[in-house]
Amino acid sequence: MRMTNLLLPTERQAPSDAEALSHILGVRAGLVRQLGTGLWTWLPAGWRSHQRAVQIVREELDAIGGQELLMPLIQPRELWRKTGRADFDEVFKLEDRKGSELILAMTHEESVTFHMSQLVRSYRDLPKILYHFQTKARDEPRPRAGVLRTREFIMKDSYSFDRDAAGLDESYAKHVVAYDRIFDRTGLEWYRVESDVGMMGGSGAHEYMAPCPAGENDVALAPGYAANVEVASADPQPVPMPAALAAPAEVTTPGMATIEAVAGHLGVHRGALLKAFPVVSDSGKLVLVVVRGDHRVNETKLRNHLGEGFRPASTEEIEQQIGPPGFIGPVGAQVPVLLDLAVADGASGGWVAGANRPDTHLQGVEPGRDFAFERCDVRAVEAGDLVGGAAIRIEPAIEVGNIFKLGTRYSEPLGATFLDESGSEQLIVMGSYGIGPARIVAAAIEQTADEHGIAWPRALAPWQVHLVVLGKPDTPEREAAEGLYAELVEAGIETVYDDRAGGAGEKFADAELLGCPLRLTVGRRTLEDGLVEAQARRGSESLAPIPLREGAAPAVEALLRELA
């Protein structure tokens, strides 16, 4: 591709409102442009990278027997009523000229299940894996960070259809294989992490996470362990228990309504206290959640344990049903107590907890002896907690893919059934599996960029070679560059050719901003010796120059292989 023909609007300055690196560089390198909040156009260079991600995904899904199809973006709203998702805030609703109610699909479980409910009759029709690349429309509450979270984006979603849970396990395992290969091939740093199955009842889920600063999720990582912090579990760091406060007694703590104040007053570690967090579940039950004073409640884990949503109790509810806010605790509380796993029984020294009376705490508190409780893991893990003896670290990451065992969540309301060998009707067991190519591209930018710009992994680069010519028209440099460009194109090497009239600095800066793996420079300096300079985008050392005389394409191909 000649740059004189290419729409590649590079910018020296970052857009003033951009924050995330992928946003800044995506715009500066001329990959994407914004049309509105969460609405982005992919310009030619960016679209090439996007398509490269798409093609990798396609090849690996085909390899596990997936079949590509295409379902509509616009769908009848009635279909979504059957699954209870028609009224979701995220769903764009619209009407046609006749007033028929339609929606823009935010995903395609409904439509694919609808079809399969008609097309699958027998166990002989199963299993199947279907997938497509299609625009998803979501009325996001807050789009952000360029193409990272948008209101309209292309997603690869695949769906598996099996006769039973064992079949689903197999389809799921196939997707694990395909996804692992996909993300290996992209060249990203990635982790497959355990993830929340949510309230929709799924029996298993993983997310594929690409660590980078702009990530919206946090992952807990340790050797051999990776989990979304929403579900991560780890052994807590030990806390020094105050032996001096082992004897049960009341302590006066006037006005000390915070963990910090009480711990400071008593001269103990915050972790020696019990933090009481009263919540009211959606069904109206008041529960006192108790974690170590230096720990925080993990809302996802708590919600999953409760089996329903919840909200923090109001001040009134706390005062009326437990005690004065700031001084509440499990001892003597007239509500169920949910005690976090990290609070060990009979810890030497005993715990400090609110006494449910003003300006008063209790020391020497021992779970079981002093209060009844239900034990569960509800705390948020923290960096330094141990998994298998190793300390975890917590990193922000982009979710680039997920895999989810749906079960019969959709086949049941949509009546997707089949007849088994005995002629009895069974529900199809489903899985759903997503990948966001745009996020793969954004993650690659985030993970590889340096102070000069993007440094694509080869698999995602819009072009493999960035050919720069230095020299005015009608010079030997131009002539040599034209010849080389023609040869590279002929050899099938994807090349962007900077044939513009600009100066060297400008061209080199743009090449580094765009980030193609290999830069070739035709200039007077080496052309006199019949050579073309080669420079890898990553690393600063110049590569051996390439002789032009005998044809350069094989040498360029060899260089590219080395860069891989």
Partner RNA sequence: CGGGGAGUGGCGCAGUCUGGUAGCGCACCCGGCUGGGGGCCGGGCGGUCGCAGGUUCAAAUCCUGUCUCCCCGACCA
Where along the sequence are the contacts to RNA (CB under 7 A)?
10-20, 23, 34, 36-39, 90, 106-107, 136, 138, 140-145, 149, 155, 157, 198, 200, 216, 299, 402, 404, 432, 434, 452, 470-472, 501-506, 508-510, 512-513, 521-527, 533, 535
Give the shortest CB-55-to-RNA separation in angstroms. Answer: 20
Give the shortest CB-478-to-RNA separation in angstroms. Answer: 10
Which residue's CB is nearer to RNA, number 83 or number 258? 83
SS3 267: coil
- Burial class from Cβ neighbours inside 10 Å (0-12, 13-18, 19+) for residue 273 reads buried
Which residue's CB is nearer to RNA, number 15 or number 204? 15
Give the shortest CB-449-to-RNA separation in angstroms. Answer: 13
279: Cα within 13 Å, side-chain hemisphere: 21
Give the shortest CB-84-to-RNA separation in angstroms. Answer: 10
Strand stretches in 67-185, DSSP E: 67-68, 74-76, 92-95, 101-104, 128-137, 152-162
Which residue's CB is nearer to RNA, number 130 or number 470? 470
Give the shortest CB-372-to-RNA separation in angstroms. Answer: 29
Which residue's CB is nearer to RNA, number 169 or number 506? 506
Give the shortest CB-366-to-RNA separation in angstroms. Answer: 34
> What residues contact 402, with CB distance under 8 A and at least 6 apart?
195, 205, 206, 207, 208, 433, 434
**Token code pair at residue 292:** 């170590």
Which residue's CB is nearer to RNA, number 90 or number 235? 90
Which residue's CB is nearer to RNA, number 161 or number 373? 161
Strand stretches in 420-462, DSSP E: 425-427, 429-435
Distances (CA, A) of 494 to 2, 232, 304, 460, 557: 11, 43, 50, 12, 11
- Burial class from Cβ neighbours inside 10 Å (0-12, 13-18, 19+) for residue 368 reads exposed
Which residue's CB is nearer to RNA, number 365 or number 480? 480
Give the shortest CB-305-to-RNA separation in angstroms. Answer: 16
Residue from 277, 270, 265 nearest 241 by CA: 270
d(CA 190, CA 237): 27
Which residue's CB is nearer to RNA, number 90 or number 377? 90
Give the shortest CB-542-to-RNA separation in angstroms. Answer: 8
d(CA 495, CA 101): 48
Strand stretches in 169-272, DSSP E: 191-194, 205-211, 217-222, 225-228, 249-252
Give the shortest CB-71-to-RNA separation in angstroms. Answer: 15
d(CA 434, CA 242): 50
**Token code pair at residue 550:** 């005998």
d(CA 505, CA 489): 25
Which residue's CB is nearer to RNA, number 84 or number 255? 84
Query: Roughly what angle, to the nearest 10 degrees, separates helices 21-28 and 437-448?
Result: 90
